[in-house]
Structure 1
Amino acid sequence: SPSAYEPVPGWVDSLNGPTGLIVGAGKGVIRSMLIDTRHLSEVIPVDYAINGLCVIPYQFTGLKERPAEVPVYNITCADHRKMQWGEVIDMSKDIGYRYPFEAGLWYPDGCITTNRLHHKINVILFHWLPAYFIDFMLLLLGQKRFMVRIQNRISVGLEVLQFFTMRAWFFKSDAYSSLWNIMNDVDKKNFNMDMDPVETVPMYIESCVVGGRQYLMKESPDSLPRARLQLKLMYILDRVCKTVIVGSLCYWTYGVVARLLGI
């Protein structure tokens, strides 16, 4: 996941993992995902992982003999820092509304569910149908089509992520955490992997959203006022469309029932 400190907070250069979910949902492209909100999230900043990989070999430089057992280091988030997926999602939505992405496909208000049938219906209605419709319109306009290709990539990414978000994972990280205790002050400064950092989880999630916006989407902080205005307009459009669709469905249902009852 995006960095906590180095090279700068929130730095990221890939859509893989949670960052892709943040960007996809923030752009209104991802409308549904399978997540069991009761399970604990397992996310660790990339700079923590890299620093850990640098420190682990250093521990064995002074050993004259190999350990009797092969040491295993799970580079994971500390247990007391883990949060349920539901809390992370709610927090991310709140922060995402404060730091919206520009020119999203739709208002970022997707569905989180554990029901696979519900999810598949949502994917067909809100992922594939809009993608094919947009590509069809681009074809008529003589423009390059891209939405179906993007949805294919999103589908592959979601399948990978959902394998983890629908299951509970428990990793012991005592060995990794113990590395911090054997480091001197200089090493701690150069290879920060403190599991009790100053910043809170909301602060880190905020840096992830801002980092995804700035480093992946190349959206300047100066564009935030415009993005917030676009978000408000998208919200109005979303509610109007939903009202029209639900109203039309109710009207059609009433007509069918009325004919059946001879009213």
Structure 2
Amino acid sequence: MNGPTGVLIGAGKGVIRSMICNGELKSEVIPVDIAINGLLLIPYHNSLAKQKSLQIPVYNLTVEEAKKRTWKWVMDVGRDLGLKYPFEVGLWYPDGNMTTNKFYHTFCTIMFMWLPAYIIDFLLALFGQRRFMVRVQTKISVGLEVLQFFTTRSWDFKSTHFQQIYKDISEEDRKIFKINTDDVDDYEYLKTSILGGRQYVMKEPMTSLPRSRIQLRFLYVLDRVCKTVILCGLLYWTSMKLGLIDLVRYGISTVKH
């Protein structure tokens, strides 16, 4: 549930409505099996060195510059895939956003994340059920705060040592221990991440997809109806405060007389 996968799941469930992120910055997201293969190969590669370095070597596993995707691309594709392969029983329609404006983010977090969490926990307490939403929201907020350190800064990791490993190992080892990202299909990778998170993290079987799509359509209609009612209510309240309602009402009466 940590990192980008947790964000995709949280956004797909409609729990995460806003996050601080500079969409134009390049992401450094890589398949975990490639990272694990790298961890296996590093000590092996060191053991083959004829002369040990006096300094501890540092290995950075990074994506090739030409293949790096922006955070906006990752989030947009993740949102599209989340709608195509929806999760079961989401809290709300997955329609969050990312921003660099902390004031706007704080407003969205309070209105669309913390407030619903407290309301849901209050209703659960009334019906004698176990409260959990505030606890979940606290966990999500901590995770987002850690992640935003990376999504609001530009990073430039040099991976010279790690690239050397790929050059030194045999062709057979390259097939067994895949560590290059040149042929990774980014769209398919995110699709696998969404489906993997759905099945293995949330324990939601693929057979529930048709039902989840029906629930998603219902949440879409509910979301639009609620937003329309709230917007109309705000417009009516503003018109009343500015006297526009009375102006229109008395203006029509004057015309009739």
Report percent identity of matched pairs.
Answer: 52
SS at the partner of 2:48? Answer: coil
Q: Give the number of the structure whose residues are more often helix, by fraction.
A: 2
- Tell me the equivalent position of 1:7: none
SS at the partner of 2:243? Answer: helix
- Tell me the equivalent position of 2:207: 222
For 2:27 and 2:111, locate their aligned partners in 1 and report how far apart those are by CA, in whole Å.
Answer: 28
- Tell me the equivalent position of 2:14: 28
- Tell me the equivalent position of 2:59: 73
Q: In the TM superposition, what whole-angstrom CA distance separates every residue of 1:188-219 from its partner, at most 9, and x where no partner exists?
A: 1221112212x411111111111110110111
Unaligned runs of 5+ in 1: 1-14
User: In 2, are the aligned partners of 1:34 and 1:162 still within 8 Å (CA)?
Assistant: yes
- Tell me the equivalent position of 2:28: 42
- Tell me the equivalent position of 2:187: 202
SS at the partner of 1:131? Answer: helix
For 1:234 and 1:85, locate their aligned partners in 2 and report how far apart those are by CA, in whole Å.
Answer: 26
User: In 1, are the aligned partners of 2:86 and 2:216 still within 8 Å (CA)?
Assistant: yes
SS at the partner of 2:80? Answer: helix
User: In 1, are the aligned partners of 2:22 and 2:152 still within 8 Å (CA)?
Assistant: yes
The Cα of 1:260 is off from its aligned counterpart by 10
- Tell me the equivalent position of 1:113: 99
Q: In the TM superposition, what whole-angstrom CA distance separates every residue of 1:78-121 from its partner, at most 9, and x where no partner exists?
A: 22221111111111111111111010000000121100000001
Deviates more, 1:56-65 or 1:142-151: 56-65
Task: State TM-score, norm by structure 1.
Answer: 0.90
The Cα of 1:180 is off from its aligned counterpart by 1.4
Q: In the TM superposition, what whole-angstrom CA distance separates every residue of 1:40-59 from its partner, at most 9, and x where no partner exists?
A: 01111111111111111112
- Tell me the equivalent position of 2:46: 60
Task: State TM-score, norm by structure 2.
Answer: 0.92
User: In 2, are the aligned partners of 1:107 and 1:231 still within 8 Å (CA)?
Assistant: yes
For 1:137 and 1:261, locate their aligned partners in 2 and report how far apart those are by CA, in whole Å.
Answer: 39
User: In 2, are the aligned partners of 1:78 and 1:173 still within 8 Å (CA)?
Assistant: no
The Cα of 1:24 is off from its aligned counterpart by 0.4
- Tell me the equivalent position of 1:243: 228
Aligned pairs, how many? Answer: 248
Unaligned runs of 5+ in 2: 251-257
